Structure 1
Amino acid sequence: MEEQYRISDPRVLKAVAHPLRVRLLGLLRSDGPATASELARKVGESSGSTSYHLRELFKFGFVEEDDERRDGRERRWRSRHVYTSWDAAEMSATPEGREAVRIMHARQAEMVGRMLGEFDLADWPREWVDVAGMSDHILTLPPAALREFADRAEALVRELADRHAGDPDARQVQVWYGAVPRSPGQEAS
Structure 2
Amino acid sequence: MNEHRPEDPAPLSDEPPSDAPLSDEPPRRRLDAGSLRGLAHPLRMRLLDELRLNGPATSARLSERTGESTGTVSWHLRHLAEHGFIEEESGRGTKRERWWRAVRGAIVLAATDFDQDPAARAALSVYQAENLRRQYQRVADSMAADWPGEWHGTGSVADWSNLRLTPAQLQALIDELAAVVARHTPDPDAAPDPAARPVIVQIQALPRKDPDQP
Q: For 2:41, which of 11, 14, 18 is the aligned residue?
A: 18
Q: 1:161 aligns with which of 169, 185, 190?
A: 185
Opposite residue 162 of structure 1, the aligned amino acid is: P
Residue 5 (structure 1) aligned with residue 29 (structure 2): yes
Q: Sequence identity of aligned pairs in percent? A: 36
AA paired with 2:104? H
Runs of 4+, deviation exceeding 6 Å: none
Q: Is the 8 A contact 1:14 1:103 kept in 2?
A: no
1:1-80 correspondence to structure 2 within 5 Å: 2-7=26-31, 9-71=32-94, 73-80=96-103
**CA distance in structure 2 between the aligned counterparts of 1:127 and 1:92, rounded to whole angstroms:** 47
Deviation at 1:98, TM superposition (A): 3.5
TM-score of the pair, normalised by structure 2: 0.76
Where 1:68 maps in the other structure, the secondary structure is: strand
Query: In structure 2, do the counterparts of structure 1 residues 39 and 133 end up closer, same or farther at CA, with 3 Å as the change threshold?
Result: farther
Match of 2:197 in 1: 171
RMSD between aligned residues: 2.4
CA distance in 2, matches of 1:71, 1:119: 36
Q: Give the counterpart of 1:146 among 164, 170, 173.
A: 170
> What are the ranges of 5 or more consecutive residues in structure 1 without an aligned counterpart?
none
CA spacing shift, 1:126–1:146, aligned 2, 3 Å: farther
Give the distance between the partners of 1:32 and 1:102, measured in 2 at CA.
28
Specify which structure has the higher proportion of helix. 1
Paired position in structure 1 for 2:208: 182
Q: Is the 8 A contact 1:121 1:129 kept in 2?
A: no
Q: Is the 8 A contact 1:5 1:81 kept in 2?
A: no
**Structure 2 portions without partners, runs of 5+:** 1-8, 10-25
Normalised TM-score (structure 1): 0.85
What is the rounded CA distance, in whole Å, between the counterparts of 1:149 and 1:44 in structure 2? Answer: 40
Q: How many residues align?
A: 185
* SS state at 2:29 partner: strand
